[in-house]
Amino acid sequence: MDESSLLPFVGVRWWAGPELDAPRLRVLVEAARAALAAGAPDRKGSRRQESFLLTLEGETPDYLLKVNHYGSLAPWRRLRRSKARAELVRATMLAARGIPAVIPAAAGELRHAGLLVCCYGLVRWMPDATDLLRLWTEACDGAASRRAWTRELGVLVRRMHEAGVHQEDLAPNNFLWRPTCEPRLLAIDFERTRVAGRVSARERVFALAKLDRHFAGAPASARMRWLLAYAGGSREAARRWWRDVAAFAPQLARRDLRHWQRTATRPGRRFDVLEIEAAGVLWRGFSRRGAPLAGLEVLLGRGHPDAKAQPAEAILVCRIEALRSREAAAAWGLAQMLFQRRLMPEPLALLRSPDAAAWVLRCSGDLVPIAAAPAAERHAALVVAIARLHALGVDITRSRIGAFAFAKQQHKVLLLDPTRCALGRVPAGAGHAAAREWATRLLG
């Protein structure tokens, strides 16, 4: 553990939230220092961030301490206000404007010669709260609860925009759902939030599009529900927002692709660079950090050109043609963007050798080739998948039918191999008619 995580009183400047006075803040900081010195486990586990669940006032964990380290950043970035203090200031401003927000109990900064070394954010722990991204992706709530928080999400986002609050990185994990409390929905994470007099129409579309991409693959009724709440119940206004968000989708996809190609192709908190030797062949490529890749050497060594599944761990290995280094990096970034929009299974790794390449995907076990899908469903499901790809600006004219698979439980088609796809070069006039034409052509 970094010594700076022990919260020494000397050198750390603290700011208390509206609920704390100076004596109580001093008691909490001392209790946190003692808990960390006693060996509280790090829940975050990354080089620049740490997170500790601490028991400071009661008999059960009641505070979350978030620590951010700045030593590896450029000096000009370390002159800014820290993340912890920015969140405290902005959360207080949002609450003053009537926005239900989680206000940190305290924020601390440790600086050396004016440069940030690390910062500390002390937040009251809410064990009954769940962020909306987890509720959505893990489907851990019922249909009635999902309808409720979807509507409240639209209402809260509208209230934020009307109050002049622009959250640049608007996402479901920026909100906590507490079904037994009031208010039930709370805003969190204000590092990239701007509080001004107004939020422009373009900024609203940008924010709504970033939020909508996380609900990709959901039925249109579910996606329209939160937009209808955002529009104050006006169906005409909700349809306008829907069209504006759809028009912005290709531009947002290009932005996201640049982000993923920059971050997913180098070692970091979420991704890694791999080298695996199988049957005397060296495979190089990219992977998600911590991905379950045990036994991958055996599967790669079989040399079979088709997809190979490992049912015990739901791992799918798809062999494809050889790729150059730059092609592999571009395809790996595109795969992350498509997975984010639920258009392909989770990409665990992309490996290449001198003679071949291979995708390693996490599958649900119900994935079958298109030819094995029910005849009554495969064409319609493929049309929907192609139309969604076209809506993002993804050109699939060079793809083959083997690059797609059918998920039986979800009744939808997923892309397994995006290496033949290109972003930003969709044929003119692409829509459902073009999607039907390409689906017919692929199915042959």
Q: What is the CATH number of the domain that holds 203?
A: 1.10.510.10
Pairwise CA distance, residues 422 & 330, whole Å = 10
**CB 420 within 8 Å of CB 335:** no
Closest Cα to residue 338, out of 297, 282, 399? 399
- Residue ranges of the chain whose pLDDT lies below 50: 1-8, 303-312
**CB 56 within 8 Å of CB 125:** no
**CB 148 within 8 Å of CB 141:** no
**CB 386 within 8 Å of CB 397:** no
Tokens of residue 249, six digits: 């989708």
Neighbours of 333 (CB within 10 A): 24
From edge to edge, which strands make up the β-sheet containing 115-124?
A: 12-16, 106-112, 115-124, 63-69, 49-54
Q: Is residue 307 in a domain?
A: yes
From edge to edge, which strands make up the β-sheet containing 185-187?
A: 130-131, 175-177, 185-187
Q: Examine the domain organization and report whether 309 and 240 are in the same domain.
A: no
Q: Examine the domain organization and report whether 212 and 301 are in the same domain.
A: no
Neighbours of 444 (CB within 10 A): 5
Q: Examine the domain organization and report whether 93 and 29 are in the same domain.
A: yes
Q: Is residue 178 in a domain?
A: yes
Q: Do the strands 175-177 and 130-131 form a parallel or antiparallel pair, or are they unpaired?
A: antiparallel
Pairwise CA distance, residues 71 & 86, whole Å = 18
Q: Is residue 341 in a domain?
A: no
pLDDT (0 to 100) of residue 5: 41
Residue 88, domain extent: 3-124
Beta bridge partners of 346: 362
Tokens of residue 343, six digits: 């258009």
Q: What is the 3-state secondary structure (H, E, C) of 179-235?
A: CCCCCCEEECCCCCEEECCCCCHHHHHHHHHHHHHHHCCCCHHHHHHHHHHHCCCCH
Q: Examine the domain organization and report whether 157 and 136 are in the same domain.
A: yes
Q: Examine the domain organization and report whether 105 and 138 are in the same domain.
A: no
Confirm whether pTM is higher than 0.75.
Answer: yes
Q: Is residue 63 in a domain?
A: yes
Q: Is residue 334 in a domain?
A: no
Q: Examine the domain organization and report whether 29 and 45 are in the same domain.
A: yes
Tokens of residue 81, six digits: 């206000």
pLDDT (0 to 100) of residue 303: 44
Q: Which of 78, 99, 124 is the last residue of a domain?
A: 124
First to last CA, the chain: 60
Q: Is residue 37 in a domain?
A: yes
Q: Torsion-angle region of residue 346: left (phi > 0), alpha (psi -120 to 50) or beta?
A: beta
Distance of CA 79 to the CA centre of its chain: 28
Q: What is the DSSP letter of 103?
A: -
Q: Where are the alpha helices (DSSP H) in 64-219?
A: 83-96, 132-138, 143-162, 201-212
pLDDT (0 to 100) of residue 137: 77
**CB 129 within 8 Å of CB 177:** yes
* Dihedrals phi, psi of 45, to nearest 5 degrees: 70, 40
Q: Is residue 340 in a domain?
A: no
345 preceded by a cis bond (ω within 30 of 0): no
pLDDT (0 to 100) of residue 432: 77
Tokens of residue 4, six digits: 């700076």
pLDDT (0 to 100) of residue 139: 67
**CB 352 within 8 Å of CB 379:** no
Place of tokens 């700011």: 15
Three-class secondary structure of residue 352 per DSSP: strand
Q: Examine the domain organization and report whether 166 and 241 are in the same domain.
A: yes
Contacts of 417 by beta carbon, 8 Å cutoff, 6+ apart? 318, 320, 359, 399, 402, 403
Closest Cα to residue 276, out of 251, 304, 298, 253? 298
Q: Examine the domain organization and report whether 98 and 176 are in the same domain.
A: no
pLDDT (0 to 100) of residue 10: 60
* Dihedrals phi, psi of 308, to nearest 5 degrees: -120, 125
What domain count does the chain have? 4
Q: Is residue 104 in a domain?
A: yes
Q: Examine the domain organization and report whether 179 and 279 are in the same domain.
A: no
Q: Examine the domain organization and report whether 117 and 145 are in the same domain.
A: no
Q: Do the strands 130-131 and 106-112 form a parallel or antiparallel pair, or are they unpaired?
A: unpaired
Q: Examine the domain organization and report whether 380 and 436 are in the same domain.
A: yes
**CB 179 within 8 Å of CB 152:** no
Alpha-carbon distance values, 408 to 292, 345, 364 (Å): 24, 13, 10
Pairwise CA distance, residues 354 & 282, whole Å = 8
Place of tokens 């592999």: 328
Q: Examine the domain organization and report whether 239 and 134 are in the same domain.
A: yes
pLDDT (0 to 100) of residue 108: 92
